[in-house]
Amino acid sequence: MPGNSFGVLFRITTFGESHGPSVGVIVDGCPPRIPMDENVIQEMLNRRRPGGSSASTRRKEADQAQILSGVFNGLTTGTPITILVNNKDADSSAYEPYAEIFRPGHGDITYQAKYSVRDWRGGGRASARETVGRVAAGAVARALLTRNGIGIQAYTIELGGIVAAGRDLHAVDQNPYGCPDMAAAELMEKRIQSVRKAGDTVGGIVEILAQGVPPGLGEPVFDKLDADLAKALMSIGAVKGVEIGEGFQAVRLLGSENNDPILPDGFASNRAGGILAGISNGDTILMRVAVKPIPSIAKEQQTVDVSNSPQTISIKGRHDIAAIPRINVVCESMVALVLADHLLRQEVIA
């Protein structure tokens, strides 16, 4: 029944509800003697906070990280690292209308079915606010990965039907949508504005790169690197699809087109996305995730209440228009957690 832990050797457990006192995470298994302080965490949490783009909610959360354990004199000690973020701007009264009614596209109805009780304030545990713990833990994982020369970057390649034409990674930080195509980013801004006016929401596609991953990571036959990445990414609330390398495009290639020729200085192409037989091959790991539109919409929808009587619902309040770009750092964090875990798992052999 417990499902709030992730990872085998670099293992995290997240906790907290959207409108409870706090959200946070315990990281158990981080190696000792890694430089760590609250700034390392805060830098990543800040990327998750709303405010950068028109797509974001106006809920204001300082998201101030406190480290409660596992760090001493600026170094990790090998004991569990607990990171706490207190909830500040939680206005539960706005949610009272939804205490007895199920919002379509949300987990209200399934949490009720599963537990026969639920914290309905702000989506409770099913809120995207839960990802604070993931990002905080991801920051710790990244400190370990950076020491090993591994870097991770996520960027938006599609949003509300606008597709990035290129992959100018320098542009990613230059626009509010994390898009590697400045012209597309401008169109995304217009698209978001118009969708917001219509009381609707949009989805998109995030692409994630992991560079510098050594060959040999991944544990066949079930804890393959791609399998664990798929689980990690699919466990993010809004994600409905995951692909590695060519992904769904690979099905239209011939074997002779899809195989990456091997040359003495590396692979001649990277259709595999850096993973062969579930083990990293030393090339860039390439992933894409499908992000569904935010289900909280102002438009009227049909639904039922807890007595299964028909109702209509129109969700007001401070909601994102798209999970992108705030989700991008969450994707990076989940990839970081998988890679940190598998890096340690491979150290057992090496």
We find the least distance from the C-beta atom of residue 110 to a second copy, in angstroms, to be 4
We find the least distance from the C-beta atom of residue 189 to a second copy, in angstroms, to be 17
Give the 3-state secondary structure of residue 239.
strand
Residues contacting a second copy: total by CB under 8 A: 147
Give the list of residues 6+ apart from residue 4 with CB closer than 8 angstroms, or none. Answer: 13, 14, 15
95 touching a second copy, by CB under 8 A: no
Tell me whether residue 29 or residue 176 sits nearer to a second copy (CB atom).
Answer: 29
Single residue of 148, 193, 194, 235 touching a second copy by CB under 8 A: 235
We find the least distance from the C-beta atom of residue 114 to a second copy, in angstroms, to be 4
Residue 338 tokens, joined? 């998988």
Cα-based distances in Å from 53 to 133, 174, 188, 246, 325 = 22, 12, 10, 30, 8
Residue range at the interface with a second copy (CB under 8 A); choices 44-52, 166-174, 176-184, 291-299: 291-299
Quick one: how far is CA 244 from the chain centroid?
16
Single residue of 44, 164, 179, 290 touching a second copy by CB under 8 A: 290
Closest CA to 201 of 102, 318, 297, 312: 297
> What sign does the CA torsion over 296, 236, 47, 15 have?
positive
Binding residues among 319-348 for a second copy as defined by CB under 8 A: 344-348
Binding residues among 11-50 for a second copy as defined by CB under 8 A: 11, 13-17, 20-24, 26, 28-29, 31-33
Tell me whether residue 138 or residue 273 sits nearer to a second copy (CB atom).
Answer: 273
Residue 261 tokens, joined? 């020729």
Tell me whether residue 70 or residue 189 sits nearer to a second copy (CB atom).
Answer: 70
> What sign does the CA torsion over 76, 78, 82, 83 have?
positive
Alpha carbon distance 22, 124 (integer Å): 11
The H or E element containing residue 119 is none
Single residue of 152, 233, 331, 336 touching a second copy by CB under 8 A: 233
Tell me whether residue 233 or residue 335 sits nearer to a second copy (CB atom).
Answer: 233
We find the least distance from the C-beta atom of residue 349 to a second copy, in angstroms, to be 5
Cα-based distances in Å from 325 to 9, 47, 145 = 30, 9, 23
**Planar angle of CA 113, 91, 108, nearest 5 degrees:** 10
Tell me whether residue 3 or residue 170 sits nearer to a second copy (CB atom).
Answer: 3
We find the least distance from the C-beta atom of residue 84 to a second copy, in angstroms, to be 8
Residue range at the interface with a second copy (CB under 8 A); choices 45-53, 145-153, 164-172, 212-220: 212-220
Tell me whether residue 99 or residue 183 sits nearer to a second copy (CB atom).
Answer: 99
Single residue of 100, 165, 277, 316 touching a second copy by CB under 8 A: 277
Residue 131 tokens, joined? 């990802």
Single residue of 35, 37, 89, 248 touching a second copy by CB under 8 A: 248
Give the 3-state secondary structure of residue 194.
helix
Binding residues among 104-163 for a second copy as defined by CB under 8 A: 104-107, 109-111, 113-119, 124-126, 130, 158, 161
Closest CA to 298 of 112, 100, 103: 103
